[in-house]
């Protein structure tokens, strides 16, 4: 299963050249993970952070920027899980504008205690909710 959502490129996302300023894509990527928790996993991300005091920092990120996006473009964002480890998970993300790939990212997140900042095993409810998104193939258009 692949989690899919959409987002419009806003003026604030763009640089003076009129295209998405690359760090804004990383903000979009982080927002996508939060939306996946809320709407895909049905585990409120605010509770994971605020109540359960679990962090999911990015420890590895590889991004290919394949085409520009401009103010007003509608991006289709797709997320799949490549691997679930003891305390980590590897994600594959793609952003499309229409049928054109704009961004491909490979991201590794690690579950940590927000008190000690040490790795923790992924809780069973989170691990179980992620399993349907585990795929052996990369998302495609």
| Within-domain flag for 139 | no
Please give the residue that has the higher pLDDT: either 15 or 140: 15
Residues 6+ apart with CB under 8 A from 75: 6, 7, 8, 9, 28, 69, 95, 96, 97, 102
Output the CA–CA distances (angstroms, integers) from residue 103 to 63, 73, 113, in the order listed. 7, 14, 30
Please tell me the distance from the alpha carbon of residue 111 to that of residue 118, in angstroms, as a whole number. Answer: 8
- What is the pTM for the complete model shown? 0.90
Phi, psi of 118 (to 5 degrees): -100, 150
pLDDT at 89: 96
pLDDT band at 12 (very low <50, low <70, confident <90, very high): very high
| Within-domain flag for 82 | yes
pLDDT at 137: 58
| Within-domain flag for 17 | yes
pLDDT tens for each residue of 49-80: 999 999 999 999 999 999 999 999 999 999 99
Q: Where in the sequence is the domain holding 94, given as residue range(s)?
A: 3-133
| Within-domain flag for 101 | yes
The total number of structural domains that make up the chain: 1
| Within-domain flag for 53 | yes
Q: Residue 66 sits in a domain of what CATH number?
A: 3.10.129.10
pLDDT at 4: 97
């Amino acid at each position: 299963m692949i989690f899919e959502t959409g987002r419009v490129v806003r003026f604030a996302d763009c640089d003076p050249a009129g295209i998405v300023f690359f760090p804004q894509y990383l903000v979009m990527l982080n927002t996508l993970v939060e939306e996946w928790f809320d709407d895909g996993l049905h585990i409120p991300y605010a509770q994971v952070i605020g109540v359960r005091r679990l962090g999911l920092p990015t420890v590895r990120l590889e991004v290919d920027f394949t085409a520009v996006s401009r103010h007003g473009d509608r991006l289709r964002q797709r997320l799949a899980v490549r691997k679930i480890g003891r305390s980590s998970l590897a994600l594959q993300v793609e952003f499309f504008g229409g049928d054109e790939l704009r961004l491909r990212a490979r991201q590794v997140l690690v579950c940590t205690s927000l008190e000690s900042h040490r790795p923790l095993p992924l809780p069973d409810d989170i691990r179980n909710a992620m399993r349907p998104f585990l795929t052996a193939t990369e998302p495609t258009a």
